[in-house]
Structure 1
C-alpha cells in the first residue's frame, strides 16, 4: 500500500460507529416516524464527529406491512406481507400448491418455466392459479408476484426455507412510482410463512382446502430525511466525486441490515474527512430512506434530483449493505461491475490476503445509477465462509453475512461483531481512497468492453441468420481497441491524458452493460442478462414479439456504442 493509504487506515476507528450500532439495536427504523427518529440519531453522531451534514426531505412512496393474517381449517399461521403489497380485506379462496423449480427459489424472473419447471407456460400456469391463492417455495420475488397476478391469482404465500419468516418486497417498480407506473403497483398480497407452516399448508392444498387471508398496510407518500456528507477533494479533479452510500431504514431493529452499514459509512466518512488533504476527487457519503418499504425510493429520488451532477461528475458509487456481521471473514465473492475487479480484488488482497472475484450485480440493492452510466461496486462485502454456512444449514439470503437472521426480528445486536466491522471499515475506506486519491481512478474499462463483445456474439448465435448484429459487433470491437489505447500494458488505471475522454465514454459503456431504458429512467426490479438492451434474445423462439423488441434494443445499443467511440 501507498504511505498515505497506510496513514488513512491507521487513523480509522470504530468507537462512534459501534456506538451507533448499539443505539440502533434499540431503535426501530421501519415505520416512517420511527425512521425519522433514527435519522435524528444518525445526524447527531455525524455532527458530533465534526462532519459537515446536509439534510434533504424527499417525499417518497412506501408500503409498509402492519399486520397480516392467514388461517386454514381453523388454524392460524405466523406470516408477513411483503412491502408494497396492497391492503387486503379478509377473504377466503381455494389454495393451490405450485412447487418452485428446485434451486430456483431466489431467481427474480417472470419466466414460468424457470420458476416452476420445464414445460410450464403462461397458459398452463394460468389454468392452475386463476381464482386461487398460490402457495410456492422461496423468499419474496416481485417478478413472480407480477406474473401470478397477471395470470389471475388472488394472493401468494411464499414458503420460506427455514424456521424464520422473512420480510420482503412485492413491487417490480424501482423507486417511487411515477404517473406512468402507478397502476403497476401490486394488486394482490404476497405473504411469507416459515417451512413448518408451509409443509402443513402443502398438505392442506392437496386436500383442496381453502385459506382466509387479510393484510393491513400503510401506503402513501411520506417526507423522509436523507443525509449526506461532502468531503472536498483538492486540485483540478476535485469536481469529480465518489458516491459512498447505504440505507438507513430497517425491518424491525435491523442491526446487520443495515445499522452496521450505517456505522461503516460514518467511520469511513470520519477517516476520509480527517485525511482529506490526500483526496484529488471529492467523496460524497449518503444514507438513504425507503430502501425496504419503498423499493430503493431514497436512492432513486437522489438519482432523479441529482441526475446531471451524477452523470457528469460521479466517477463511481460504492454501496454498503450488511457489513460487520459475526463470523463474516470471507471476502472471496463481492458484487460489482467488471471495471472494478482490480480495484476491489486489490484492496481485499492487500488487507486480508484473500483472492476476490466480483460477481455481476443483480437488479437489487441501491444500484439506482445504472441508467445514468455510473460505475458501481460493492453491496454486501464480508460473508460467513460458504463451508461454514453449509455446516450450519443456512440457506441463501440477501445480507447479514449470509445469516438467516436477515429481514427478521432476530436481526439484533448479537448479529454484529466489532472486529468484523473494523475490517469492513478498512475495506471501504481503502477502496474509496483508491478511487479518490489516484491520478486516475483504478477502473479497468477493458473488462466490460470484452463482456459486451461476448454478449453480442452470443445473441448473434442465438438468432442465427434471422437478424444481423454485425454493425453492433464491429462497433463494440472498435471500442475495445480505443479503450485499450487508454491504458498502458497491464496497468488497471488509465493514462492521465486519456482519462477525461474515457470518463465520458464510460457513461455509455455502463449503460450498454447494465441498462435497458433511457438515461433518466429506471429499469424494473427484474433479473437482467448482460447487455439488457438485447434482453429480448432470452425470449427468442418463444415470444412472437421478441424480434421487434430485440431490434429496438439493438438500435439503442448501437447508439450507445457510437457515443462511446465518439467520446474517445
Structure 2
C-alpha cells in the first residue's frame, strides 16, 4: 500500500499553476460560452488521466446582473452594482423615499414603515436581509459595503431552480450595493432633512438557460457498474474570472484526481468528480438538479460528499475553521493536523455551497477550506466576512472575493499545495481505507450535546429524554464496532446509519426536496423548542408549536431507532461471523 505521506507529497504546485493560468483566461458566469470553454479544458485533462467523462447540459433558472447600476439619494448619485435575483428597475429607475434601517435585521425595522420605500442598510447583500426587507414591504434596497469593494452576491433564498411554489419566495425588490465611502455620502445627504427621495437604476437578466455539468468517473480496479463511490465536487462557474473562487478549487480537484488515478489498484471504491455550474448565479442550481435527476443512484452509491471551494488564496493561512459532519470530524482533524499542524475546530457543515445531497443521507466534509487570520482582517477579508470569525481565528478569504480582482495574482502556490494536500489526504483515505472512516459514536456525542442545549433552553415545557436515551444507545453501539471487524460488513452498517441520521441532522424538509438557502442549526426540525418558552403557557401559539415539535421529535426518534437497529443487527452478524 502506498504511504499516505507519499501521495500527499506528490501534489505538484507547478501543474496546478498551469491549470490556474488556463482558468484565468475565461470569465465563467453560469450558462455563458466562457464557462463552457473552460469546462471543456477540465474535461480534456480528466480524460487524459483516464477518467470517463460526460458533459451534461440542463436548463436552470439563472440570474446575471448587468453593469451600469447606480443609486441616487437626494442630490447625491453614486455608482453601484446590482445582484443576482434582484428585480430590474423600471425605465427611469425605481423611485421612493429612503429609510435607514441600520443592519437590516428585524429589530432595526421597529417603528419604521418601509412599505413602498427604499431601505438603506449596512453590510453585504445576502438572502437573509433581503428576505426581511421584502417581507417588510420595501421596494428597493441599498446595501453599504463594509469596504471599498462591492461584492457580487446571489440574494435568492430559494435553493436551486425554483418550482411553482417556491418561485413566490424570490426577491421582490430592486437591490443595489455601494462602496463604504459612497454609503457615507448617501447617509450624510439623508441626514440633512431626515428624509430624501431615492432612485435605483439596475438591470438583471434572469431566466431559464442551458448550463453545463462535467461528470468524471473512475472505478476501482475490481469495481463494477454499481460500485459505491466517493463523491468529490466543486463549482466551476465564477464571478468574473474567479481564479481563487473557484479556479483554485478546480485545480485542487484535478490534481487530487490525477494522483489518485495513478494508484487505482489500491482503491476499495470508485471516485466520481463533478464540476458544477449555477453555484454563483443560480443558487446551487446544478447540484440540486443533479440530485433531483439522479436521486436513487446517489442514495444507493454515494458514500461521502467531499466539496472543494476557494483553495490557494494569498494569506489564507488558517485551515482549522473548515467544516465537517460530526461523523467525519476524526478524518478532518487528522488531515488538517498532518498537513498544517493546526487543530480542527469541529465546525458544522453550513447550509451553503453545493450541499444538495443531505436528503438522501450522504454525509459531507469540507467546503471553503482556507481563510485569512482574524488579525489580518483589516487588510484582508474582515470587511467582507458575513459571519463572525471562526473558532480558530479564520475570517474569510481575501478582499478580492466576488470582485473583478479575483485574478491569478491573488493566488499563492504554496498555500494551494497545502490546501490540496489536505484534500489529497482526505480523498485517499476515503478511497483506500478498508472500512470507511465514519465515526457515528462521535455523531451520537455531538447529538447529545445539542439535545442537552435544547432541553436546557425549553426546560420542563417539552421532553427530549427519549431522544437522549436513544442517542446514548447510538454512542454505545457505534463504540462497540470492533476495529478488526470484516470491513465489508462494517461498511454496510455505516451506510445504513448514514442514511438514517444525515437527513435529520441537516434537513427540515422532505427527503426529495431542498430547504431554503438560509442558515440552519443542527437537527433543524427540533430547533423550535428554543422558541417555546417565549410563548404564553396555554396559548394557541404554544399548542401550535408543540404539535409541530411532537412530529419533529418523532422524526428524529425513528431515525435514531433505525440507526441503532442497523448497528445491533450488524454487531450480531459480526459476532456470528467471528464465532464460526
- TM-score normalised to structure 2 length: 0.88
Which residue of the partner structure matches residue 229 of structure 1? 216
User: Deviation at 1:351?
Assistant: 2.0
Task: Report the aligned-residue RMSD.
Answer: 2.4
User: Deviation at 1:297?
Assistant: 0.7
Which residue of the partner structure matches residue 553 of structure 1? 552
Q: What aligned pairs does 1:107-506 form with structure 2 within 5 A after superposition?
A: 112-113=106-107, 116=108, 124=110, 127-206=112-191, 207=193, 208-235=195-222, 239-390=227-378, 394-397=382-385, 402-486=397-481, 488=483, 497-506=489-498
* 2: CA distance, partners of 1:439 / 1:393: 41
* 1: CA distance, partners of 2:237 / 2:476: 44
For residues 504-552 of structure 1, give each alpha carbon's deviation from its aligned partner in whole angstroms, at most 9, with x where no partner exists: 1112222222111121111111111211011222432446343333233
* 1: CA distance, partners of 2:448 / 2:117: 45
Q: 1:303 to 1:389 in 2, by over 3 A?
A: same
Alignment partner of 1:98 is 2:101: yes
User: Greater CA deviation, 6-15 or 199-208?
Assistant: 6-15
What is the aligned residue count?
A: 546
1:349–1:356 CA contact under 8 A, matched in 2: yes
User: Greater CA deviation, 25-34 or 367-376?
Assistant: 25-34
User: Deviation at 1:400?
Assistant: 11
Q: 1:69 to 1:354 in 2, by over 3 A?
A: same
1:16–1:45 CA contact under 8 A, matched in 2: no
Which residue of the partner structure matches residue 567 of structure 1? 566
Q: What aligned pairs does 1:525-544 form with structure 2 within 5 A after superposition?
A: 525-542=517-534, 544=541
Counterpart secondary structure, 1:285:
strand
* 1: CA distance, partners of 2:174 / 2:532: 32
Query: What are the ranges of 5 or more consecutive residues in structure 2 without an aligned counterpart?
Result: 387-393, 536-540, 568-580
Which residue of the partner structure matches residue 21 of structure 2? 22
Which residue of the partner structure matches residue 523 of structure 1? 515
* 2: CA distance, partners of 1:18 / 1:449: 42
User: Greater CA deviation, 475-484 or 208-217?
Assistant: 475-484
* 2: CA distance, partners of 1:315 / 1:304: 17
* 1: CA distance, partners of 2:426 / 2:301: 18
1:97–1:134 CA contact under 8 A, matched in 2: yes
Counterpart secondary structure, 1:192:
strand
Alignment partner of 1:79 is 2:80: yes
* 1: CA distance, partners of 2:128 / 2:385: 17
For residues 401-438 of structure 1, give each alpha carbon's deviation from its aligned partner in whole angstroms, at most 9, with x where no partner exists: 62111011111111112222222222211110111100
User: Greater CA deviation, 165-174 or 341-350?
Assistant: 341-350
1:443–1:494 CA contact under 8 A, matched in 2: no
* 2: CA distance, partners of 1:43 / 1:241: 19
Q: 1:517 to 1:328 in 2, by over 3 A?
A: same
User: Greater CA deviation, 252-261 or 26-35?
Assistant: 26-35
Counterpart secondary structure, 1:315:
strand
Q: 1:346 to 1:494 in 2, by over 3 A?
A: farther
Counterpart secondary structure, 2:66:
strand
* 1: CA distance, partners of 2:381 / 2:152: 20
Which residue of the partner structure matches residue 513 of structure 1? 505
User: Deviation at 1:444?
Assistant: 1.4
Counterpart secondary structure, 2:342:
coil
1:160–1:194 CA contact under 8 A, matched in 2: yes
* 2: CA distance, partners of 1:73 / 1:390: 31
Q: 1:467 to 1:328 in 2, by over 3 A?
A: closer
1:322–1:400 CA contact under 8 A, matched in 2: no
User: Deviation at 1:159?
Assistant: 1.3
Counterpart secondary structure, 1:224:
strand
2:435–2:490 CA contact under 8 A, matched in 1: no
Counterpart secondary structure, 1:357:
coil
Q: 1:69 to 1:506 in 2, by over 3 A?
A: same
Counterpart secondary structure, 1:283:
strand
Query: What are the ranges of 5 or more consecutive residues in structure 1 without an aligned counterpart?
Result: 102-110
User: Deviation at 1:459?
Assistant: 2.3
For residues 116-167 of structure 1, give each alpha carbon's deviation from its aligned partner in whole angstroms, at most 9, with x where no partner exists: 4xxx6xxx36x43222111111112202211221111111111111110011
* 1: CA distance, partners of 2:381 / 2:294: 44
1:486–1:502 CA contact under 8 A, matched in 2: no
User: Deviation at 1:495?
Assistant: 6.3
* 2: CA distance, partners of 1:380 / 1:487: 34
* 2: CA distance, partners of 1:14 / 1:194: 36
Which residue of the partner structure matches residue 46 of structure 2? 46
